[in-house]
Structure 1
Amino acid sequence: MSGVSSVNVTVPATTANLGPGFDCIGAALTLYNEFNFTRLEEGGLTIHVTGAEAERVQTDESNLLYQAFLKLYQYIEQTPPSVKMEIQLGVPLARGLGSSATAIVGGLIGANELAGTPLSVLQVMELAIAMEGHPDNVVPALLGGCRLAASSDTGWEICDVPWHQNVIPVVAIPDFELSTKEARRVLPTQVSRADAIFNTAHLGLLLRGLETGKREWLRAALQDRLHQPYRQALISGYDAVKAAAIAAGAYGMVISGAGPTLLALADTTQSQAVEMAMLTAWQEAGITAVVRSLCIDTQGASSFHEG
């Protein structure tokens, strides 16, 4: 048994897709969930949740954090210990900011630390992708930065995407939810060759636009034909918020993950104006929202332990 008795894990929120990078690109943001795992001598499982929406988090064995914790112990073929989990919520639930990815990554890291770190970061990442079903949120949540993930014959290849310091992510988080399941249900099962080519070209342009901060490239690059045209109708006020963001100087606006959070990219001189414009547009549509300019988290998940 490991000598570690308590582990603290911090995991950043993420924004996935960035327009044309559907299910393959995501970036870690400076918004966090914090998890503490304390080994118990007996008593099974205890989960305590604090923060906004805490009452909506399951506190039994169905909790996703605990499911990820169990998954790692199953993988290493060890009996999981009795554990107390404390969750401090800073990432809104079901809003397209990777709250489920924080739980998956947090649970796997917490278990790995309590078990004496038998798995490498790469192995933890592969377990996280298997649990989530796609890499776009869990990879940047674990590793930080902006990441492009591509499958290969031997697993996953992860590419660090340079993000220009003058490109500011502005998130507009409404007070309504949109489940990933519902957002996926509206997507077509097939797309045209023209739309596939369109997204391929725009993803390539996005990568260069993020690296250089070139306005014209980013304005064009954020367009998408694979998922956003079908999901827009699920988000009240989408058109008005997008028009307001662009009028205030944003390069463009996309749906963060499956939504309903909307993500605008702007330069450092215009991010505050974009914030105010997006907030006002949603207020005029009768929707309460929190709008914030964030930064790219470059560290990813972090942990420290006691004992």
Structure 2
Amino acid sequence: MPARAGVRVRVPATSANLGPGFDTLGLALGLYDDVELAVADGPACTVDVEGEGAGRLPRDERHLVLRAAQATFDRAGAPRVPLRLRCRNVIPHSRGLGSSAAAAVAGIVAARALLADTHPLDDDTVLDLAAGFDGHADNVAACLFGGLVVAWGHEGTWHAARLTPHPTLRPVALVSARSSSTEATRGLLPDRVPHADAAFTAARAALAVHALTSAPELLLAATEDRLHQPYRRPAYPETATAVDRLRAAGIAAVVSGAGPTVLALTLDGRLPDDLDTTGFTVRALPVDTDGARAETL
């Protein structure tokens, strides 16, 4: 049995890629899902969901948070036990704001907290486990550690370095009313790209790290991309148009993750007054610097 009866975990939304940093850069944002995980009173797992996904998400062991939690028990060498899960979801689903990564991180961090006194797990193990659920580490690393992350894989395991974003950064999200599938938009990407486009994007990705941490005046140039965003335009033309208009106005706008949300990396939290935001909900989302946090119930 876990040494602790129950825990509460708060996990932030995230934006991956940030333009040229495809599958590498991630930023944690101040929008949160709250999860409570405890040992169940009965023989079966139970699930209660409020907010995003209520009525659509599985109410049994198939729920991603529970699957991630039970996988954590397995990795720690601890026996599985019936769990009671309560989710209060605010992060929009299938919008490019890391909702799946947040769910996986929530389950893993909650299970780690339940097992902390008997089966401790370090951050590297947690990151690698979470990336296995999400498929890559940019979103999960930002969700786990907060701030800005650079993630990479090496010999079958995932790693990440956390950086501190520049304090003047004021992200604004244009959350699309439409949903989008990561698998579908990834399917639009070609197997090969011109060498010139790869070199261009590599240079911008390196510059993006500098701009996001030390030189925000370079963000517009640093967020140019030729590797993935141009190929995904047919999946969400309204998103592509919003990005184009923001960039034409001098604002470093990118597609958030696989879209269709737009992330504007502003320094003042303002968008042009004449920007057409039809089909989007505009939300100022501060950078989250704490990442996933757990407390005992």
Q: 1:157 and 1:45, CA in 2 relative to 1: closer, same or farther beyond 3 A?
A: closer
* C-alpha distance after superposition, 1:21-54 (max 9, x if no partner): 0001101000001100121232311100001442
TM-score (norm 2): 0.93
Q: 1:3 and 1:77, CA in 2 relative to 1: closer, same or farther beyond 3 A?
A: closer
Q: Does 1:224 align with 2:225?
A: yes
Please list every run of 5 or more consecutive structure 1 residues that lacks an aligned counterpart in the other structure.
Answer: none
Q: Does 1:245 align with 2:246?
A: yes
For structure 1, which segment, 85-94 or 116-125, has the greater mean C-alpha deviation from structure 2 after superposition? 116-125
Give the secondary-structure state (helix, strand or coil) at the position aligned to 2:170.
strand
State the alpha-carbon separation in 2 of the partners of residues 95 and 154 from structure 1: 28
State the alpha-carbon separation in 2 of the partners of residues 29 and 113 from structure 1: 23
* C-alpha distance after superposition, 1:98-156 (max 9, x if no partner): 00001100111111222235211221111111222211100010011100012345844
Q: 1:30 and 1:254, CA in 2 relative to 1: closer, same or farther beyond 3 A?
A: same
Equivalent position of 2:59 in the other structure: 59
Q: 1:154 and 1:235, CA in 2 relative to 1: closer, same or farther beyond 3 A?
A: closer
Q: What is the Cα deviation at residue 228 of structure 1?
A: 0.2
Equivalent position of 1:73 in the other structure: 73
State the alpha-carbon separation in 2 of the partners of residues 12 and 238 from structure 1: 23
Q: What is the Cα deviation at residue 255 of structure 1?
A: 0.5
Q: 1:61 and 1:157, CA in 2 relative to 1: closer, same or farther beyond 3 A?
A: closer
Verify the 8 A CA contact 1:244 1:277 in the aligned structure 2.
no
Q: 1:299 and 1:156, CA in 2 relative to 1: closer, same or farther beyond 3 A?
A: same
Q: CA RMSD in A?
A: 1.8
Amino acid at match of 1:158: A
For structure 1, which segment, 94-103 or 106-115, has the greater mean C-alpha deviation from structure 2 after superposition? 106-115
Equivalent position of 1:207 in the other structure: 209
Amino acid at match of 2:296: H
Equivalent position of 2:18 in the other structure: 18
Verify the 8 A CA contact 1:186 1:231 in the aligned structure 2.
yes
Equivalent position of 1:118 in the other structure: 120
Q: 1:231 and 1:4, CA in 2 relative to 1: closer, same or farther beyond 3 A?
A: same
Please list every run of 5 or more consecutive structure 2 residues that lacks an aligned counterpart in the other structure.
Answer: none
Q: 1:43 and 1:10, CA in 2 relative to 1: closer, same or farther beyond 3 A?
A: same
State the alpha-carbon separation in 2 of the partners of residues 89 and 157 from structure 1: 27
How many residue pairs get aligned? The number is 295
Verify the 8 A CA contact 1:166 1:267 in the aligned structure 2.
yes
4+ residue segments displaced more than 6 Å: none
State the alpha-carbon separation in 2 of the partners of residues 149 and 27 from structure 1: 11
Equivalent position of 2:277 in the other structure: 282
